[in-house]
Amino acid sequence: LKNMPAGYFFNVMTEGFGVMSSYKAELTPEDRWAVAAYIRALQKIETHPATETKTA
């Protein structure tokens, strides 16, 4: 999904996909684009494995 364009996420929210229903009635087009941009921003965040902590 990392290589999918933002429009893919917009379309999935608009039309639904698989078991995910449409959010067309709940989110305005502007909000759907904002969510798509948020998904894209989250995908760009570098992740690092959690460090193990020693317990007493």
pLDDT, tens only, 16-50: 999 999 999 999 999 999 999 999 999 988 887 77
Separation in Å, CA 2 to CA 8, 27, 55? 11, 23, 37
Q: In terms of pLDDT, which residue wins out, 55 or 22?
A: 22
Closest CA to 38 of 17, 10, 3: 10
> Is the confidence at residue 13, as pLDDT, over 70?
yes
Look at residue 56 in the predicted model and tell me its pLDDT: 66
Half-sphere exposure of 7 (CA within 13 A, CB side): 0
Length of the chain: 56
Q: State residue 2's pLDDT score.
A: 85
- The per-residue pLDDT for 38 is 96
Residue 11, pLDDT score: 98
Angstrom distance (rounded) from CA 38 to CA 55: 36
Tokens at residue 22, please? 């449409």
